[in-house]
Amino acid sequence: MIFNIEEVKFNQDGLVPAIVVDNSTKDVLMMAWMNMESLKLTLEERETYFYSRSRSELWHKGATSGSTQEVVEVYYDCDGDTLLVKVHQNGSGACHTGSYSCFTNRLDAN
Amino acid sequence: MIFNIEEVKFNQDGLVPAIVVDNSTKDVLMMAWMNMESLKLTLEERETYFYSRSRSELWHKGATSGSTQEVVEVYYDCDGDTLLVKVHQNGSGACHTGSYSCFTNRLDAN
């Protein structure tokens, strides 16, 4: 299957940020980076794949933990340089800490 | 007022991606970049400020268009390298195209 991924602009490192949202609750679960290969796999396999900048390797989200993300829809923004991925989250959640979302820490006044 | 912004990790360019969400609908409106100064202004003024990478300048969202974003809460993720900003969106919307959200384009099979 061929998608209109020529609309997506990857940065100088060949990466694009992908915001992952729970399609049922609309909560933002995480943000990670995709390269062309991981985006193609995400669209074809209908599960999220990212590119780990720290490990310099492709990363199939939840492959070992079971917290896979089934892809519902993928959007790109007006500039084409950010993705929004709507998913069905499997397992306990999206965060490596075990949390449902990576965004649990609030910037508060001390 | 002093916030715990030492928890936030800026990249090699001194920037951090900020995902902006409508606090009432939970829709993702846009993604933009903040430097330390724009994050401090966002927290203090309770309206969003970003750093424009193309114009290399601070940018008070909606200052000319009226589409300002009133800040409700700001979160940082488990790695401290991404922000989530929950806002009340004023005006017609968040996107420079006039759309409510920047994410209107779907990656579809051709």
**For residue A1, pLDDT beyond 80:** no
Asked if A29 and A90 count as a contact pair (C-beta separation under 8 A), the reply is no
**For residue B1, pLDDT beyond 70:** no
The boundaries of the domain holding residue A36 are: 14-89
Q: Is residue A56 very low, low, confident or very high in pLDDT (cuts 50, 70, 90)?
A: very high
Q: What is the CATH number of the domain that holds A29?
A: 3.10.20.810
**For residue B2, pLDDT beyond 80:** no
Q: Is residue B107 very low, low, confident or very high in pLDDT (cuts 50, 70, 90)?
A: very high
b/e per residue B34-53 (b: at least 16 CB within 10 A) = bbeebbbbbbeeebbbbbee
How many residues are there in chain B? 110
CA distance linking residue B38 with residue A3, whole number of Å: 36
Q: Is residue A36 part of a domain?
A: yes
CA angle A37, A21, B97 (to 5 degrees): 85
Q: Which residues of B touch A75 (CB under 8 A)?
A: 103-107
Q: Is residue A20 part of a domain?
A: yes
Contact A75 B110 (CB under 8 A): no
Q: Which residues of B touch A2 (CB under 8 A)?
A: 109-110
Give the number of domains in chain A: 1
Residue type, A91: G
Q: Is residue B64 very low, low, confident or very high in pLDDT (cuts 50, 70, 90)?
A: very high
Instruction: Determine the residue of chain B that is closest to A54 in CA distance.
Output: B79
Q: Which residues have C-beta within 8 Å of that of residue A34, sequence separation ≥ 6?
A: A15, A16, A18, A42, A49, A50, A51, A83
